[in-house]
Chains A and B, each alone.
Chain A
Amino acid sequence: MIPELGQFALILALLLAALQAVFGIVGPALGRERWTAVVTPAVAGQFVMVATAMGCLIASFVANDFSVAYVAENSNSALPLFYRVAALWGAHSGSLILWIFLLSCWTVAAAFGTARLPRNFAARVLGVLGTISFGFILYTLLTSNPFVRLSPPWADGQGLNPILQDPGLAAHPPVLYTGYVGLAVAYAFAGAALLEGRLDREWARWTRPWATSAWAFLTCGIALGSWWAYYTLGWGGFWFWDPVENASFMPWLMGTALIHSLAVTEKRGLFKSWTLLLAVLGFSLSLVGTFLVRSGVLISVHSFAVSPGRGEFILTFLVIMIGAALALYAWRAPQMQSEAGFELTARESFLLFNNILLVTACGTVFAGEMAPIISNALGLGKLSVGPPYFNPTFLVSMLPLLVLVPMGMHARWKRGGLGGRGRTLLVALGAAALIGCAVAFGVFTGAGILSPVSMTLGVWIIIASLIDPIDRLRRRIAIPRAVLGMTIAHIGLGVFVFSMTAVQAFTAERDVALAIGSSVRDGGYTFRFQGVGPIQGPDYGGSGATMVVTRHGKPVAVMHPAKRDYWVQHIATTHSAITINGGSNILVALGQNLGDGRWSFRLQVRPLVLYIWIGALIMAGGGLLAITDRRYRVADSATKEAAAILAGGDAR
């Protein structure tokens, strides 16, 4: 009964999404106010129906209803309640339901957020979101229905893939999808502007908080995924240029370009068509990413079960959504020229270069992602593109960007110049170079040329970000939250760059075979293998080792790396032990029993690795702080203005 109810709710949601799309787009076009008025109730109804559908699926998981195929395939009665709920997004169909639910949440938020905007514009935004919703719900119902029943029902489920049984991974998809779907709102704002054929600085001010919050969620989601991969997969890396990782990274790069370009459009009314294009491309790339992952065109460790029918559907959807937006763009953008000019050293130039470099970086990642497909489609044989391609090409566009950040922050709008900050920046650069070289050559050994340079850049970005807030504090001038948010996000970038360099350049890693009671030195630490014994969990067994870690004779940690064998799926997973010592990360992974009490281990000491994710979180936090700035509160300023006018005074 419950699964049928869920399916029925999803069908109703589809119909409501259709209403929302048609009336939201056609209503304003024909100037029918009554049609337009249907949109908001449709949004509310769709949200209720989607929430019901998702609730029904969760209920089936919680109740261990193994007559539902999706539940039987992804859950098990031995699974703890938390993972029975998280198993919802453990595979393809359920993660689509999550996607649709989050889109529905964003749509409701957008309905509230646009309530005080011009009615036609608001209706168009919701209408565009309705088309996206419609496409995804239809896709789910036609190709990936999670409510399909099994006959006869299974006695017990297959269980959740053990790799996915982890708090980090349980949180990763919802946060990442929130980011993906948030880009849909930015896309919808761009779509509404294109439909209207009008775009002004107000539009940029309305759009900025949506783009920034989507970007912040995307940042968190990618960071969570990377953290999860780092410690669960036991590979010890934090980024693999895996096709699925790239699929989330490309929208992030576009989103980063978008939030910077929006700043120019809001402040100066420039880059209008460019900003529109970025808003369209950001969401388009998350759709293309979905296509690549779900169609089976690319295979990666993350791949979901695939079928060609799904690929064809997404491709059709892609053609409609992106094709329509780009066609509208080709038609409307020429009317959105802006005349104002700016000096070469103005902040506009820096942001322009920021955009060019970010889009270039995104392009190189996209080229790497597409290369295997192109080569295959043209019959040139199989091709696999990995870190040897991505690392250098990505660096070529990112290093110049890092050089631009400290200067761009201080460059003045329009007239250009650093507004008297040139000297301070130079001093900051000197200090950063000192710190960067001291760390690269003093604290660590074996530095190349690149590591001191990029460490210097990281420190320079941090110091440069602090100049303005310190100055304002000294002169007791309030710091607007948007400025503070930007400052914090840039500090996060600096922290990220610095720690990433440390990890890339100075990681000590080795594979050793140890007998019980023997010890080995690595990366300044001493590892002593104490013993090994059997372990027992709710649905797994295995072996666990004890490793005592000391530094300069002082105890640092006792570590327990393990290998787990999950009974239900018969999958063996490696659970590396990770310990943190001053932000550095010591990792011990248990290998094989070599006999005679000897086991193989992989030891790693990664300096400062924790700050990679802390840096990313700081970036996201900065973004979220920025959107709370007063000037984005449309409602507030409008009411204040109205109150001021009523009081007979001036709005200013």
Chain B
Amino acid sequence: MIRYFVPLGVFAAIVVLLALSIHQAPRKDLVPSPLIGKPAPSFSLPSLSDPNEKVTSAALRGHWYLLNVWGTWCISCRIESPELLAIAHTGVVPLIGLDWKDSRAEAMAYLHQKGNPYQQIAFDPGGLEAIQWGVYGAPETFVVNPQGIIVYKYIGPITPRAWAHDILPRLPAGQASGS
């Protein structure tokens, strides 16, 4: 009776698929955010260093950039800080900071003490912009392409390994280094 073998056959097919998907896990693009592949939210926020200056998504168009969500209150961001400085030092891609739910004075003091890896920092004290980006907890880092599309989101502090394996491969190094 062939029909009694149907469940076994279907199951075997499912197992093959699952096995394939585990195998792909290391290089697979997980979907940690529904925003991936979608245009980054357009924003216009005051700059952290100068309230009269604006950091806008429009001005960032045409270049690759990393948007890093951080705050002085965030312990993991402190852990991440040296790696961000190292990334900034390579000059591969500009880092744009989104200072989240923070106070201007504390943030400036923090950057002074730890060093500033960011090319520009948008100031979001109310956290409204972070909601647009679907931020769950700091630090989170978004990789945005010249068309303004979010290509990747990294959750948690960026480690040297995460930079080398997860973020750098997503940046076309030639194009990015020029920007």
Give residues in A with beta carbon < 8 Å to B. 273, 277, 280-281, 284, 288, 291, 295-297, 299, 308, 311-312, 315, 318-319, 322-323, 326-327, 329-330, 333-334, 370, 372-374, 376-377, 382, 384, 569-572, 592-594
Question: Is the Cβ of A308 less than 8 Å from the Cβ of B22?
Answer: yes
Which B residue sits closest to A337, measured CB to CB?
Answer: B1
Which B residue sits closest to A307, measured CB to CB?
Answer: B25
Min C-beta distance of A561 to chain B, whole Å: 16
Which B residue sits closest to A379, measured CB to CB?
Answer: B24
B137 at the interface (CB under 8 A from A): yes
Whole-angstrom CA separation of A288 from B74 in the bound complex: 37
Sampled A-B contacts (20; CB under 8 Å): A299-B30, A308-B25, A308-B26, A315-B15, A318-B18, A326-B8, A330-B8, A334-B1, A370-B17, A373-B17, A374-B17, A377-B24, A382-B29, A382-B31, A384-B31, A572-B127, A592-B126, A592-B127, A592-B128, A594-B126
Contacts of A327 in B (CB 8 A): 8
Whole-angstrom CA separation of A370 from B10 in the bound complex: 13
Partner of B31, one of A299, A569, A570: A299
Min C-beta distance of A182 to chain B, whole Å: 22
User: Which of A299, A315, A376, A592 is the most central at the interface, judged by chain B CB atoms within 10 Å of its CB?
Assistant: A376
Contacts of A296 in B (CB 8 A): 25, 30
Which residues, 151 to 167 on B, are CB-close (under 8 Å) to A?
Answer: none
B104 at the interface (CB under 8 A from A): no
Min C-beta distance of A331 to chain B, whole Å: 8
Which A residue sits closest to B76, measured CB to CB?
Answer: A570
B28 at the interface (CB under 8 A from A): yes
| Per-residue A-contact encoding for B94-130, CB less than 8 Å = 1, 0 else | 0000000100000000000000000000000011100
Given A569-B137, A570-B75, A592-B128; A376-B28 close (CB under 8 Å): yes
Question: Is the Cβ of B21 less than 8 Å from the Cβ of A377?
Answer: yes
Whole-angstrom CA separation of A570 from B73 in the bound complex: 7
Contacts of A572 in B (CB 8 A): 101, 127
Question: Is the Cβ of A315 less than 8 Å from the Cβ of B7?
Answer: no
B59 at the interface (CB under 8 A from A): no
Contacts of B168 in A (CB 8 A): none
Whole-angstrom CA separation of A326 from B3 in the bound complex: 12
Given A569-B137, A571-B137; A297-B25 close (CB under 8 Å): yes
Question: Is the Cβ of B11 less than 8 Å from the Cβ of A323?
Answer: yes
Question: Is the Cβ of B22 less than 8 Å from the Cβ of A311?
Answer: yes
Whole-angstrom CA separation of A398 from B19 in the bound complex: 32
Contacts of A311 in B (CB 8 A): 22, 25
B32 at the interface (CB under 8 A from A): yes
Given A570-B71, A593-B126; A315-B22 close (CB under 8 Å): yes
Which A residue sits closest to B29, measured CB to CB?
Answer: A382
Which 6 A/B pairs are nearest by Cβ-Cβ distance?
A377-B20, A326-B8, A334-B1, A311-B22, A330-B4, A330-B5
Whole-angstrom CA separation of A329 from B9 in the bound complex: 12
Which B residue sits closest to A600, measured CB to CB?
Answer: B128
Which residues, 26 to 42 on B, are CB-close (under 8 Å) to A?
Answer: 26, 28-32, 34, 36-37
Min C-beta distance of A66 to chain B, whole Å: 16
Whole-angstrom CA separation of A622 from B166 in the bound complex: 51
B171 at the interface (CB under 8 A from A): no
Given A570-B138, A592-B128; A334-B4 close (CB under 8 Å): yes
Min C-beta distance of B101 to chain A, whole Å: 7
Min C-beta distance of B157 to chain A, whole Å: 13
Min C-beta distance of B81 to chain A, whole Å: 15
Contacts of A592 in B (CB 8 A): 126-128, 131
Min C-beta distance of A442 to chain B, whole Å: 39
Partner of B22, one of A284, A295, A319, A326: A295
Min C-beta distance of A369 to chain B, whole Å: 11
Whole-angstrom CA separation of A330 from B4 in the bound complex: 5
B79 at the interface (CB under 8 A from A): no
Main secondary structure of the interface of A (DSSP, over half): helix
Contacts of A377 in B (CB 8 A): 17, 20-21, 24
Whole-angstrom CA separation of A277 from B3 in the bound complex: 12
Contacts of B73 in A (CB 8 A): 570
Min C-beta distance of A479 to chain B, whole Å: 38
Contacts of A318 in B (CB 8 A): 15, 18
Whole-angstrom CA separation of A239 from B15 in the bound complex: 28
Contacts of A273 in B (CB 8 A): 4
Contacts of B14 in A (CB 8 A): 288, 370
Question: Is the Cβ of A297 less than 8 Å from the Cβ of B4?
Answer: no
Min C-beta distance of A601 to chain B, whole Å: 14
Which B residue sits closest to A331, measured CB to CB?
Answer: B4
Other than the known A318-B18, A377-B17, A572-B101, what 11 A-B pairs have Cβ atoms closer than 8 Å?
Answer: A281-B7, A299-B32, A311-B25, A318-B15, A323-B11, A329-B4, A370-B17, A376-B24, A382-B37, A570-B75, A572-B127
Min C-beta distance of B114 to chain A, whole Å: 17
Question: Is the Cβ of B5 less than 8 Å from the Cβ of A372?
Answer: no
Min C-beta distance of B166 to chain A, whole Å: 14
Question: Is the Cβ of A372 less than 8 Å from the Cβ of B31?
Answer: yes
Min C-beta distance of A444 to chain B, whole Å: 31
Question: Is the Cβ of B26 less than 8 Å from the Cβ of A315?
Answer: no
Min C-beta distance of B144 to chain A, whole Å: 17
Whole-angstrom CA separation of A55 from B20 in the bound complex: 39
Whole-angstrom CA separation of A322 from B26 in the bound complex: 27
Min C-beta distance of A224 to chain B, whole Å: 23
Question: Is the Cβ of B31 less than 8 Å from the Cβ of A326?
Answer: no
Given A326-B8, A330-B8; A315-B18 close (CB under 8 Å): yes
Partner of A323, one of B8, B24, B29, B36: B8
Question: Is the Cβ of B137 less than 8 Å from the Cβ of A570?
Answer: yes
Question: Is the Cβ of A297 less than 8 Å from the Cβ of B22?
Answer: yes
Which A residue sits closest to B10, measured CB to CB?
Answer: A326
Whole-angstrom CA separation of A372 from B21 in the bound complex: 10
Contacts of A372 in B (CB 8 A): 31
Min C-beta distance of A42 to chain B, whole Å: 30
Min C-beta distance of B36 to chain A, whole Å: 8
Whole-angstrom CA separation of A114 from B137 in the bound complex: 50
Question: Is the Cβ of B25 less than 8 Å from the Cβ of A326?
Answer: no
Whole-angstrom CA separation of A40 from B31 in the bound complex: 47
Which residues, 74 to 97 on B, are CB-close (under 8 Å) to A?
Answer: 74-75
User: Which of B11, B32, B138 is the most central at the interface, judged by chain A CB atoms within 10 Å of its CB?
Assistant: B11
Min C-beta distance of A151 to chain B, whole Å: 20
Which A residue sits closest to B22, measured CB to CB?
Answer: A311
Min C-beta distance of A288 to chain B, whole Å: 8
Whole-angstrom CA separation of A192 from B102 in the bound complex: 62
Which A residue sits closest to B131, measured CB to CB?
Answer: A592
User: Which of A273, A315, A323, A373 is the most central at the interface, judged by chain B CB atoms within 10 Å of its CB?
Assistant: A373
Whole-angstrom CA separation of A322 from B18 in the bound complex: 14
Contacts of B21 in A (CB 8 A): 297, 373, 376-377
Whole-angstrom CA separation of A578 from B51 in the bound complex: 38
User: Which of B18, B26, B71, B75 is the most central at the interface, judged by chain A CB atoms within 10 Å of its CB?
Assistant: B18
Min C-beta distance of B177 to chain A, whole Å: 28
Question: Is the Cβ of B4 less than 8 Å from the Cβ of A570?
Answer: no
Contacts of A569 in B (CB 8 A): 137
Given A295-B22, A376-B24; A329-B7 close (CB under 8 Å): yes
Which A residue sits closest to B8, measured CB to CB?
Answer: A326
Contacts of B24 in A (CB 8 A): 376-377
Contacts of A334 in B (CB 8 A): 1, 4
User: Which of B73, B126, B138 is the most central at the interface, judged by chain A CB atoms within 10 Å of its CB?
Assistant: B126
Min C-beta distance of A339 to chain B, whole Å: 16
Whole-angstrom CA separation of A284 from B7 in the bound complex: 12
User: Which of A308, A330, A370 is the most central at the interface, judged by chain B CB atoms within 10 Å of its CB?
Assistant: A330
Whole-angstrom CA separation of A372 from B24 in the bound complex: 13
